[in-house]
Structure 1
Amino acid sequence: MGGMTEITESTPDSSSEPVPGTAPASASGMPAWERRFRAPRVSLPDWAEDAPDRSLFVSNATGTYELYAWDRATGEQRQVTDRPNGTTDGVLTPDGEWIWWFSDRDGDEFGVWLRQPFGGGADEPAAPGLDASYSAGLALGRDGTAVVGRSTDEEGTTIHVARPGSDPVEIYRHRESAGVGDLSHDGTLVAVEHTEHGDAMHSALRVIRIGGASHAEGCEGGSVVAELDDTEGGTVELGLEVLGFAPVDGDTRLLVGHQRRGRWEPMLWDVATGEQTDLAIELPGDVSAEWYPDGSALLIGHSFEARSELWRFDPVIRELTRVETPVGSVSGATARPDGTVEYLWSSAAHPPKVRSTAGREVLDPPGMKAPGSVAVEDVWVDGPGGRIHALVQRPAGEGPFPTVFEIHGGPTWHDSDAFAAGPAAWVDHGYAVVRVNYRGSTGYGREWTDALKHRVGLIELEDIAAVREWAVASGLADPAKLVLAGGSWGGYLTLLGLGTQPDAWALGLAAVPVADYVTAYHDEMEALKAMDRTLLGGTPEEVPERYEASSPITYVDAVKAPVHISAGVNDPRCPIRQVENYVDRLAARDAVHEVYRYDAGHGSLVVEERIKQVRLELAFAERHLK
């Protein structure tokens, strides 16, 4: 219950040269910004449905993010995985006897599932007979059944049922992206999210009964029980997501997220009868949900204007009750069998903690504690597509300040009032930090998220420009010391912004970016190809003018600002070849740039590696901004 939650500050090996302007150090001599990265932290613990004392969590206690088993009855904790580049993807079997974990190659996300006894022992193949792939979801049943989703460039998405002592049986195959949603409590029904209609941003749902005769193309090992598709053939852009089957044998209700009212909210879908029950939870913003363990209620996650909170909802009497949490962001929550709720909470000013409604901290890792940071201020700016929400952190003193525009990745993601060690490091060094939830961001309604299609990158930069103008006019930002920065999609927007708005930015810091969109498309993992086809309306061969207009390499010769680029050599999302193409163009005209390549994938799970990257960026900014 309560799936593993991502720890957002995951990561870089460090030289010892001090960075000019470093914030005051602790008594041990370590700067506060470094302590924020090095302080031990933990994820929200996952737990076995039928053995709730057995839990699994992620921690950076060794300096690398790895999986840990925790027996709550005895208090014993042990490290499950130990790999040079870290491990974060793990799942407990319902009986708590086994830990499944995904083993890739140095962060390339291409691998196989292994399993290890909860109490320790040798790893073994968890689903023998399935070759390495990108993961497309996993669901584990009570009788040892596993539903394994796979994605490869050659096959597209395939989903297999693996049972002990038997060869895996394929139950789904399609060229477009898809994934395992959930397995019913009795292990007979599998919910699949798919994009067979060709819109990778909006999934449809299919429920398959395991083991029946094939009733539909792509379901050789099972029979189709039900279909739900809100896209209407792709003409109406409404998505669906699987939130989970009811945790009771024989209960065929599936909790589903939908966008029928312009935002994410839950409903109940009885896959046996077809009945749909709209829960009509009247909260502004996006609403998600998961079941309480006995199926009697729903735990509601509510996200609105960069903050989140929890509620308990009784679907019978339609009663909504607040679950008290501090103001900030809840990045994961789970209801326990005793009715208490555990949740991972933080704010920009306060480091994350796993808390319980029982009034205690659930996991408090030993060692140094992360220092707090500066609270965010909310700013709303009128933009070409509507009001834009930005989060601002100010350093001590009077402005205008050198200002870092830290642009989030995704693009379907959003910045929130949550603790982030990277922005806090810039604040420590005297920079203001501005984070913009541009069009394409989640949490502001479906139309805002879907607005970036076809003019990809350029729309987001219009919103960033509007907030930049506010930052300068308000006296916050020094117009001569504006830094455009970000990772992944944020790195892409950084490079695109430096080329399309060359006079606006004094410096650029791009981590794991898309730099050459056409080459990136041909080299990236298949699921991202599908997303790019959705965003841009086709392949580079079908709509070359759109890829050209949205590609940073198109504008590389216009870049004036010094630019620092960091990239993982094993990155399957923003592959290294397309970064090298961009760097070669910078080097050909002796443009001021610096490139740091590291041996990992799309980011690193090694704390010292992450610190090294931030140190390099701080030093680069200090040299060029004076």
Structure 2
Amino acid sequence: MTSFRTGLRAAAVALLPLAALVPTAAALAQQARPAQELIPRKDLFGNPSRTAATVSPDGKSIAFLAPKDGVMNVWVAPLATPDKAKPLTQETLRPIRSYFWAPDSSQILYIQDKGGDENFLLYGVDLAKGETRTLTPFEKTRVQVIAISETIKDAILVGVNNRDPRWHDVHRLNLKTGELTLVRQNDGYAGFAADDTLTLRLATKATADGGYAVETIGPDGTTAPFLTIPHEDGLTSGALGFTTDGKTLYLRDSRGRDTSALFAMDMASGRTTLVAENAKADIGGLMANPRTGVVEAYSAYYETNEWFPVGDALKADIAFLNEKAGGEWSVTSRDDADRIWTVAVDRVTEAPAFYLYDRKKKALTRLFTTRPELEGRTLATMHPVQIPSRDGLTLVSYLTLPPGSDKDGDGKPETPVPLVLSVHGGPWARDGYGYNGTHQWLANRGYAVLSVNFRGSTGFGKGFVNAGNLEWGRKMHDDLIDGVDWAVKQGVTTADKVAIMGGSYGGYATLWGMTATPDRFACGVSIVGPSNLITLLGSIPPYWASVRENFARRMGDDRTEEGRALLTERSPLSHVQNIRKPLLIGQGANDPRVIQRESDQIVAAMKEKGIPVTYVLYPDEGHGFARPQNRISFNAVTEAFLSRCLGGAHEPVGTDFDGASLTVPEGAQGVPGVAEALAAKK
């Protein structure tokens, strides 16, 4: 739990011989091919030209991420002349993916790890001097930003786990001198919330039943019980943070209801007031006044994301943006005067674009599109669909079809096409509506793409989340199969032309699909996917100690005989002998969440049983592939792999391995062009 306002500001910028198994050449020739020119992988998965625009708190400058010598860095310009931006940060290897402004607008702060190990340190760069300082200069340490104040401009609160890797001690960081002062030693709390004076007010601790206890912190540092959040509400409830005066606490709460609602609590009386609710979706994003911290708008995300005003403060602005943006929009920053906003606009069939919004003038001015290379290209429409599960749940899902395959625009192709079932990670996350690079890439190659929000996905109420408890490899997977069956029944695809692909939990779902339901999928692509749930739980990072009980109750308890039996039975590694179709596995060697062993052990088991597999390993990546050269190279392998399996078009590997760190410990000959590209790799 970070502070309410920290979350708002930071979030704005900011477990994955083949010839006998594939169709004949004659069969491939009859399958769907995209009608339009192939979009190069580098245009879809290379660095965006610019992204993540934010305005400084003083309203004088604008920052964004853009490549410098091929690596994403932070650029800064005067607000009046954004075209005169200059690079401020100097990263030369790993891209910066998240940054934020210091409260006094004098610095850009960002976090960075090494090779994907997720030991994020905090760095600060002075705008005037251009000097970069490591503000948390520790080894094997992960920093958390806990609180940023609107009135205290020279300090923030950070959590650092260099004393005990399980817990983040709270420090006050002087942004001018870099001095760290211990505020509170943490001996078992999952998180803290502070008010605008950077005074700790709340602490959250995991309870034995898998829920959470929220405690107040008094002036002398002692704690007292405040709120109890049962396990069933653990993913849908919690304290968010305070208004600037510290008198009101905002809560997201699903206790006594299904979808989580937004409440405001008066800290003096303890009285709560309902601020916002939605019958279908949990309350999602919030917009709070930069000066007062009062919530002025909220979003609810069912099929699409919608913003609603709280009171009249932003009513006209929301109406204006709804009319003028031409797509879904989100505010990525607001200056302290609350006159200038940066706004991201997503029109699905265009790459997202960023705009400046002047509230006083009611003027929306385009800054840039994130991928100008895609302008003029034919991109695919995404269709929100509601798929019924076999036991009566509604699965909000998203279908993208190859351009030209659906001439009447009804969301069904004229003739069935091969389909890729793309499974999200988490699993306590969700798929959403909007521009999606993976959907666009696969649709351009001639595939339909289906993303199913299976039970356990978040945003649809606690009943839907909790329906996934202990259902890894069971009802969660049934939902995915129900999605495939729906697509076949609708004429989107045929039962023999479906691939499954995903990362993290999506990688697990792929491995499970290939082992437990091997006749349902023609092939699978698993990215950083766990193969053994017992070894997965035994290797989670120490700083996840506070959520350990949640894993036990939602996945299975590896501390009990019964739990270990369940986890063993639900592990793909236990059923590896069932694999009969082509499988591609991608892994980052430094992944702290799904460690390399998870991929190594299933590859070794397949080799022992004489089952072909292609294994791509990146020595400088973690839980996913951050470097664009690595992303492009893996997608080049994936594209050739899918083409051989399903018959879609593919761009030759060519030189897409150049600059990438990939190694192929197993199965390079199993994917067309891979061995040759490896031999020619620079």
TM-score when scaled to structure 2? 0.78
- What secondary structure sits across from 1:422 in the alignment? helix
Paired with 1:203 and 1:83, the residues of 2 have a C-alpha distance of 41
For residue 66 of structure 1, the aligned residue among 70, 73, 98 is 73
Letter aligned with residue 289 of structure 2 = Y
Q: Is contact 1:569-1:601 (8 Å) kept? A: yes
Cross-structure match for 1:188: 199
- Name the structure 1 match of 2:573: 553
1:527-573 Cα distance to aligned partner (Å, 9 max, x none): 55625234235335562022113222122121111100111111111
Instruction: Report the CA distance between 1:604 and its aligned residue.
Output: 2.2
Partners in 1 of 2:133 and 2:69 — Cα distance?
24
- Alpha carbons of structure 1 residues 344 and 242: separation in structure 2 relative to 1, 3 Å: farther
Matched, 1:566 2:586: yes
Number of the residue aligned with 1:349: 349
What SS does the corresponding residue of 1:133 show, helix, strand or coil? coil
Shift of 1:372: 5.2
Whether the 8 Å CA contact 2:524–2:584 is kept in 1: the answer is yes
The alpha carbon displacement at 1:446 in A equals 1.6
- 8 Å contact kept, 2:278–2:300: no
- Unpaired runs of 5+ residues, structure 1, are 11-19, 217-223
Aligned partner of residue 96 in structure 1, secondary structure: coil
Query: What is the match of residue 113 of structure 1?
Result: 122
Map 1:428-443 to 2 at 5 A: 428-443=444-459
1:53 corresponds in structure 2 to: 60
Please give the alpha-carbon distance, in whole angstroms, between the structure 2 residues aligned to 1:611 and 1:61. 18
- Alignment correspondent of 1:213: 220
Alignment match, 1:306? 303
Please name the residue that 2:226 is paired with. 227
Contact 1:482 1:504 in 2 (8 A): yes
Q: Distance in 2 between matches of 1:7 and 1:346?
A: 15
Given that 2:351 and 2:371 are in contact with CA atoms closer than 8 Å, whether structure 1 keeps it comes out as no
Instruction: Give the AA of the match of 1:602.
Output: H
**Number of the residue aligned with 1:465:** 481
Kept after mapping to 2: 8 A contact 1:516/1:579: no
Distance in 1 between residues matched to 2:328 and 2:529, nearest whole Å: 27
**1:70-105 C-alpha deviation (Å, 9 max, x unpaired):** 442553433324141212232322111222222321
Deviations 1:426-453 (A, max 9, x none): 1111111111011011222221122111
Could you tell me the percent identity over the aligned residues? 20
Which residue does 2:168 correspond to in 1?
A: 158
The answer on whether the counterparts of 2:516 and 2:575 sit within 8 Å (CA) in structure 1 is yes
2:134 match: 125
| Corresponding residue for residue 538 of structure 1 | 557
Classify the secondary structure of the residue corresponding to 2:430. coil
From the superposition, tell whether residues 118 and 284 of structure 1 become closer, same or farther in structure 2 (CA, over 3 Å): farther
CA distance in 1, matches of 2:327, 2:517: 34
C-alpha distance in structure 2 between counterparts of 1:367 and 1:62, whole Å: 18
Comparing 298-307 with 490-499, greater Cα deviation is found at: 298-307
Cα 1:131–1:147 change in 2 (3 A) is farther
Q: Superposed, which structure 2 residues align to 1:210-289 within 5 Å?
A: 212-216=219-223, 227-231=226-230, 234=231, 237=234, 239-246=236-243, 248=244, 250-260=245-255, 261-281=257-277, 284-288=280-284, 289=286
**Separation in 1, partners of 2:215, 2:55:** 27
SS across alignment from 1:419: coil
Contact 2:47–2:72 (CA<8 Å) still a contact in 1?
A: no
Q: Give the distance between the partners of 1:435 and 1:405, measured in 2 at CA.
A: 6
1:456-510: CA deviation from partner (whole Å, max 9, x where unpaired) = 2422111011111111122211211110111111111111111111111110011
Shift of the alpha carbon at 1:615?
Answer: 1.3
Aligned residues of 1:439 and 1:448 also touching (Cα < 8 A) = yes
RMSD between superposed Cα atoms in Å = 3.4
| Structure-2 residue corresponding to 1:416 | 432
Amino acid at match of 1:149: G
Structure 2 Cα separation of the partners of residues 72 and 576 of structure 1? 45
- 2:409 is aligned to none
Match of 1:220 in 2: none
Distance 2:12 2:438 in 1: 16
Tell me: CA distance 1:535–1:60, structure 2 relative to 1, closer, same or farther (3 Å).
farther
Structure 1 residue 114 displacement after superposition? 2.3
Task: Check 1:339–1:96 CA distance in 2 against 1; reply closer, same or farther (3 A cut).
Answer: closer
Matches of 1:33 and 1:324 in 2, distance apart? 32
* Separation in structure 2 between the aligned mates of residue 540 and residue 62 of structure 1, nearest angstrom: 49
- Check conservation: 1:306, 1:415, Cα contact below 8 A: no
Q: 1:282-297 alignment to 2 at 5 Å?
A: 284-288=280-284, 289-295=286-292
Rounded Cα–Cα distance in structure 2 between residues aligned with 1:356 and 1:162: 33
| Greater per-residue helix proportion | 2
CA drift at 1:154:
4.9
The 3 A distance-change label for structure 1 pair 582 and 7 is farther
C-alpha spacing 1:41/1:316, structure 2 compared with 1 (3 Å): closer
Assess, with a 3 A threshold, how the Cα gap between structure 1 residues 450 and 526 changes in structure 2: closer, same or farther: farther
- Structure 1 counterpart of 2:524: 508
In structure 1, distance between residues paired with 2:226 and 2:491: 55
Aligned equivalent of 1:171, options 179, 184, 194: 184
Pair 1:343–1:624, CA change in 2 (3 A): same
The alignment status of 1:406 with 2:406, answered yes or no, reads: no
Q: Residue 472 of structure 2 aligns to a residue in which SS?
A: coil
Alpha carbons of structure 1 residues 61 and 432: separation in structure 2 relative to 1, 3 Å: farther
Deviations, residues 406-440 of structure 1 (Å, cap 9, x unaligned): 11112122111111111211111111111101101
CA distance in 2, matches of 1:238, 1:552: 26
Please tell me the residue identity of whatever aligns with 2:452.
V
Q: 1:545 to 1:152 in 2, by over 3 A?
A: farther
Partner SS state of residue 146, structure 1: strand
Amino acid paired to 1:536:
M
Gaps of 5+ in 2: 17-28, 358-362, 406-413, 648-682
What is residue 615 of structure 2 aligned with on the other side?
595
Deviations 1:372-393 (A, max 9, x none): 5211223322212512222111
Say yes or no: does 1:359 pair with 2:354: no
**Structure 1 residue aligned with 2:503:** 487
Tell me the distance in 2 between the aligned counterparts of 1:34 and 1:581: 32
Deviation at 1:117, TM superposition (A): 0.9
Distance in 1, Cα, partners of 2:528 & 2:12: 18
Shift in Å at residue 405 of structure 1? 0.3
SS of 1:91's equivalent in the other structure is strand
- Gap change, CA 1:323 and 1:262, over 3 Å in 2: farther
Q: Is the 8 A contact 2:508 2:531 kept in 1?
A: yes
Confirm or deny: 8 A CA contact 2:276 2:298 kept in the other structure.
Answer: no
Q: What is the alpha-carbon distance in structure 2 between the residues aligned to residue 22 and residue 153 of structure 1?
A: 57
Instruction: Name the CA shift for 1:136/1:434 in 2 (closer, same or farther; >3 Å).
Output: same
Contact 1:405–1:433 at 8 Å: present in 2 too? yes
Q: Which residue of 2 aligns with 1:376?
A: 382
Task: Give yes or no for contact 2:280–2:461 (8 Å, CA) kept in 1.
Answer: no
Pairing partner for 1:393 from 390, 400, 406: 400
1:580 and 2:585 aligned: no
Normalised by the length of structure 1, the TM-score is 0.85
Amino acid aligned to 2:74:
L
Q: 1:476 & 1:300 partners in 2: Cα distance?
A: 39
Deviates more, 1:458-467 or 1:527-536: 527-536
How far apart are residue 266 of structure 1 and its match? 1.9
Equivalent position of 1:13 in the other structure: none
Whether 1:38 aligns to 2:46 is: yes
Picking from 144, 151, 159, the partner of 1:149 is 159
Moved more, 93-102 or 464-473: 93-102
Q: Deviations over 1:229-256 (max 9, x none)?
A: 332xx4765743444432x3x3432333
Work out the number of aligned pairs and report it: 594
